[in-house]
Amino acid sequence: MRFDYLTLKAFGHFTDFDLPFEKDKNFHFIYGPNEAGKSTILRSVANFLYGFPQQTADSFLHDNKKLLIEGQLSRKDGETLRFMRRKGRKNTVLDLNQNPIDEKFVSRFYDGLTQDHFLNIFALDHVRLREGGESLLQSDGNAGESIFSAASGISMLRDVLKDIEDHAGKLYVKGGSTREINQSLRKEKEISKEIAENQLKLQDWKDLERKYEDGKREIDRLTEEINILGRELQKIERIEKTLPKIALRNELKKKRERLGELPNLPEEARELRKENEKLAESSSERLKEIDQLLKRYKDRLDSLHIPEHILEQEAEITSIYRGVNGYIQDVNELPRLEGEMESLQNSVYAALKTIDRNYTSLTDAESLRLSAEKRKRLLSLADEKPLLDQNLKSTSSDAESLDREVNELESELRAFDDIPDSEELEYVLESVQKHGDVEERLKQKKLEIESLKIKCAHTFRSLSFWEGSYEDLIGQPIPAMRETIKQFEKVRRDLKSIQEKTFEKQEEEKAAIADLEASLRSLDALADVPTESELQKERMFRNTGWVLIRNQLNERRNEISEIEAFSKGLPLELAFENSMKKADELTDVMKREAEKVGEKNKLLADKQSSIEKLESLTSELENLNTDLTTWKEDWNDYWLTTSVNPGTPEEMLEWLNRYEQVMAHHEQLETANAHYTDLEHTYQTLKESLIKTLSELENTDTQRSLGQLVNQALRVKKCFSEQRTRKDVLRDKYKQKQEQYEAVLKRKRRTEDDVKEWGEEWESAIEGLPVTSATPASVVKDLLENYDSCVTSYDEYLKIKRSKDAMETRVSGFEEDVIRIDQEVVSTLKPRAMDTAVTSLYELLQKTKEDRRTVLELKKKIQEAGTEKEAAVRAEKEAEHVLNELMIKAGCETLSELVEAESKFKEAQELFQKITSAEEQLLAIGAGQTLEELLAEAAETAADSLALEKGNLEKQVKELEDQKSEVLQIHGVNKKEYQEKIQGTNDRSVKAESEKQSILSKIARDTDDYINQKLASVLLRKGIDYYREQNQSPIVKRASEIFKRLTLDHFDGIVVEFDEKDQPVLMGLRQTDTVPVSGMSDGTTDQLYLALRIASIERFAAENEPVPFVVDDILVHFDDDRARETLRILLELSRLTQVIFFTHHSRLESLMKEADSDQQYQMTRLETTVSAGLF
């Protein structure tokens, strides 16, 4: 797949911005200064392929709904897709006619590659490149991680793996106690135990349930009886409310009957009468006003006079008036035109005399008109003459100059005939350079040895618990095994965990005892609640007294001490009576406070149970302390064979890590010493080779260092190279100048031929003009200008003459039209001053038309007034008719009698409304009964006995409510105990069960999360290993070639070796030496990552549909040489897949030209500059 073009129709600060990608070039170099819009274009690529994000920063100029990108994609098989992408939730892919396209047609072009995959693999900037280099350092060059990271684009792969494993470790650790899942499992076991302890006994529950249901039924029976009596009481109260209202209704009906028979008037009779009285009066007044208005209209009409002959000529007068302004303008313009004509006539005569004194007539100017072809030919030849003269002079000068330069270069070339051969020096120098900076490596290796010695000493000093020397530690093996230490730690941790749990339970039981004691104190504070044991004690005391009394009644002997202990100085019968009273009182209190008694008994039982549990837990803690002491002895015995005074297992695991670090540093120190010896030998060998070769070319100091000898060799090589280069430059320049000299001679001869040809054409062109061939071309050009000036003035004279004749014709025609008008306003008409007469006629016409309109309006108003007068007469008659009809209905003859009848009629209406209101109130009180039922109910009731019946019913209701209250109190004790059982014990069980389900849900969620994290870690590692196994050989081989070129042969490539853990790792290859990733500079690790990424993309493109590689300023940290080589490699990559390279560094533009002189790439410059605030 490749991009053929992109058009940002509305995106960011761009509007209709086209970005074409030439089809014959696959590398597109896009340069633009800062803030020119490169970042916006980069975002548009992903937005075009995958759609706009929910929130976008590119809608500051265009609204979200208007964001639009157009472009075309093409596959390697030639198939293309041209579409537009808009911002939205659905149907965001459109064809060019704005019709929706299925998203799958777009994704098919890049084989369903996800957006994250595209951005990670095929989009690279300097930040991701730097992260990729750091990732290689973090993984210590691990081959699988390095190759997978470069191929997947996940630059910080080690961080991803660590995050996954850390997240899983926070959820669960085998044998742990503080992790999420471990804590949830412990809580679930404790809650399950609590649920088992809170189950009810079946028989106790049945007895309690029976008492509860009996009480409910008794309460329901009493409630029903109270409701029946309540309905009877409500009926009596309703009758008490309706009786006064029924009496009021009856009284109102009697008043209505006393009014007798009433006139049959309409309800609005009074308003109707008043309205028509007012109408009759207003109609009479209006008739008087209309008569006065008609008189004024007729007087005005008689005063107006209309001249009809003016109206008949309205069209002619109007037409002439419209031409007044033109007439005035023409009259004023004629003197000016006459003056201009005279001036132009003088100019033409003067020009003719200047050209030829024989010209005497204006028409002679016609003879000066030249054909356009002849005039153009003359001017062209006149312009060519100076150029031809200049060219001839220039070519002659150039020929002389080049002849001198050729002779000088020939002399310089003779000085470079003998240059020494430096081929052997270059071979030796190349051999030295292949080994790199051996001298610097020796220094670095020496520093590394010193650093490793310091590290060894530092790590040894940090090794606690060791009592011997460093040499003793290196020489003595440590038999400690991690698994054994972990097993010791597991046993200790399990014992500690059990101890902590037991201690927590012990504290919980102590807290429970304290809570129970507090509850008992609170219960005793509310009331002195006796216990069952106290009641039994009192009853036994009472029975003892009864035995003493019974012995006396049966004449049996009682012990004096027993009597004194019981009676305590009181008479025996009184002491017995007091004991019976106290026992009964305790029984009454326990019955009355049955609920509290039960609660107190339960609290005491729970307290005793907690005390027993506390004793058991204390015993368990003692046993655990013994087990921990035994473990400590075993742990110390395990380390007896070493010189280590052990700490805790966790500390010893950390100690073991530090011990391994000491050993690792020691091994590194040994390896570094061996490498240093090898480097020193190489250094001496290279130095001897250089001294031998240099001595053959010039004097050489054998005491110099290898670096100084290399610099001397480079200087000698550069000197010889510069001499050869100078000779080649001079030879090329000599050849070039020789060719230029011959070319100049040819141009000189051609110019001389052109001058001769021009002379022949010039003689032909001036034929017929008053000049000779010797006349300068500039003089002929001036003559042509005089011809043009004369002819132009003559043409202007003719044009003005035609305008003057036309004006005089128009003025004469206007004056003739005015004379033909029949009028009496203007007596005398003056030529060229008739505009005043026309204006007067037009004003008279306008006045006449206005008077005619006034006459028509007056006639219309007279007609309207007559119509209004007829309407007023009709209204007056209709009002009188309505008043007569009302008097007939009321049976009266005058308006005063009609008013009296209206008053009586209104009183009857008000009584009727009051009766209706009373009946409505009765129905509202009646609770759904009809009016007849309420009246019948009131008639059947004796009003005097209502109060007595109401009192009896209220008394019965109160007795039942008192009875219900007693039953409720008894039921309350049973209900509370019942609810405590189902909502107390069981409530705790339900609450515990709910909490258990919540914990089980959390365990399920956390377990799913844990499994997902573990699976992700395993699958990622398996995927890394699988990808390495499948791709290591081809990718590493190709990446090695690229890496060598990127580092400009400072490295010979990369190889895969195995570390101390037998894990494959990438190493830089430098002849026979290998350099770990940790030993490379930041820039070199970046180049290694880039080599792996390019190799992976090449392999992807070879096996799949190619996807464009989008690069943004990845060379900011590269020097010029490495940047140039990188551009060459990317240009080679573009043969497999499209490469789009963005940069804001102008230097890279020149490096690109150096990297590809054949212009196999497309150069695009972004010139638009926008505000930095837009990005």
pLDDT for res 7: 94
Segment 379-398 shows an average pLDDT of 80
Helices (H) and strands (E) in the chain, counts: 32, 13
Rounded Cα gap, residues 980 and 145, in angstroms: 64
What are the backbone dihedrals phi and psi of residue 469, each rounded to the nearest 5 degrees, phi first?
Answer: -90, 175
How far is 113 from 1097, CA to CA, in rounded Å? 14
Using the predicted structure, report yes or no on whether residue 937 has a pLDDT greater than 70. Answer: yes
Task: Give long-range contacts, CB 8 A cutoff, 24+ apart: 636-640.
Answer: 638/484, 638/488, 639/480
pLDDT at residue 592 tops 50: yes
Q: In three state form, how does the secondary structure of 115-154 look?
A: HHHHHHHHEEEHHHHHHHHHHHHHCCCEHHHHHHHHHHCC
The pLDDT tens digits of the residues spanning 840-883 come to: 778 877 888 888 888 888 888 888 888 888 888 888 888 888 87
pLDDT at residue 27 in the model = 94
Mean per-residue pLDDT for 290-318? 80
In this prediction, residue 1032 carries a pLDDT of 55
Residue 251 CA neighbour count, 13 Å, CB half: 7
On average, the pLDDT of the chain sits at 78
How far is 508 from 924, CA to CA, in rounded Å?
67
Q: Is the pLDDT of residue 548 over 60?
A: yes
HSE toward the beta carbon, residue 354, CA cutoff 13 A: 16
SS3 for 179?
A: coil
Question: Between residues 217 and 191, which one has the greater pLDDT?
Answer: 217
Higher pLDDT, 81 or 507: 81
Higher pLDDT pick, 1021 / 1029 = 1021
Q: What percent of the chain has pLDDT over 70?
A: 85
pLDDT digits (tens, 9 = 90+) for 554-582: 777 777 777 777 777 788 778 777 877 77
Query: Mean of the pLDDT values across residues 138-155?
Result: 52
Q: What pLDDT shows up at residue 1170?
A: 40
- Relative to beta strand 93-94, strand 1162-1165 is unpaired
3-state secondary structure (DSSP) of residue 496: helix
pLDDT-derived band at 158 (thresholds 50, 70, 90) equals low
What's residue 1169's pLDDT?
44
| Contact (Cβ atoms closer than 8 angstroms) between residue 86 and residue 56 | no
d(CA 147, CA 144): 5
pLDDT computed for residue 86 by the predictor:
93
Q: Where are the domains of the chain?
A: 1-111, 327-356+771-819, 373-422+705-755, 445-480+648-689, 482-638
Across 142-146, 243-247, 390-394, 751-755, least confident range: 142-146
Highest mean pLDDT among 259-273, 403-417, 914-928, 1127-1141: 1127-1141
Best-predicted range by mean pLDDT among 1-15, 126-140, 226-240, 547-561?
A: 1-15
Q: What integer is the mean pLDDT of 675-689?
A: 81
**If you average pLDDT over residues 924-931, what whole number do you get?**
77
β-pairing verdict for 80-86 and 68-74: antiparallel
pLDDT value of position 200:
46
Q: What is the pLDDT of residue 1139?
A: 95
Average pLDDT over residues 656-671: 78
Looking at residues 765-770, what average pLDDT do you find? 71
Pinpoint the alpha helices (H) of 1047-1164. Answer: 1082-1103, 1120-1133, 1146-1155
State the pLDDT confidence band at 494, using cuts at 50, 70 and 90: confident
What separation in angstroms does the CA of 426 have from each of 430, 687, 706, 723? 6, 15, 16, 15
Q: What is the mean pLDDT of residues 678-703?
A: 80
CA quadruple 494, 496, 497, 503: dihedral, nearest 10: 140
Who contacts 1017 (Cβ-Cβ below 8 Å, separation ≥6)? 161, 164, 165, 168
Please say whether the beta carbons of 104 and 81 come within 8 A. no
Residues 977-995 pLDDT 10s: 666 666 555 556 666 777 7
**Pairing status of strand 1139-1143 against strand 27-31:** parallel
State the burial class of residue 8 (Cβ atoms within 10 Å of its Cβ: 0-12, 13-18, 19+): buried
Fold (topology level) of 1-111: Rossmann fold (3.40.50)
Could you report the per-residue pLDDT of 56-73, keeping only the tens digit for each?
A: 888 888 988 899 999 999
Q: What percent of the chain has pLDDT over 90?
A: 8
pLDDT at 1174: 26
Task: Report the alpha-carbon distance of residue 273 to residue 877 in Å, rounded.
Answer: 14
Q: Which two tokens stand for residue 593?
A: 């406070």
Q: Do 348 and 793 touch, CB atoms closer than 8 A?
A: yes
Cα(997)–Cα(1005) distance, rounded to whole angstroms? 12
pLDDT value of residue 897? 76
pLDDT of residue 198: 56
Q: How far apart are alpha carbons 244 and 242 in whole angstroms?
A: 6
Q: In this predicted structure, what is the pLDDT of residue 417?
A: 67
Cα→Cα distances 799→109, 356, 793, 809, 821, Å: 73, 25, 10, 16, 35
The burial of 166, by beta-carbon neighbours within 10 Å (0-12 exposed, 13-18 middle, 19 or more buried), is given as exposed
Average pLDDT over residues 1126-1135: 92
Closest among 1096, 1129, 1101 to 1, alpha carbons compared = 1101
Confidence band of 28 (pLDDT split at 50, 70, 90): very high
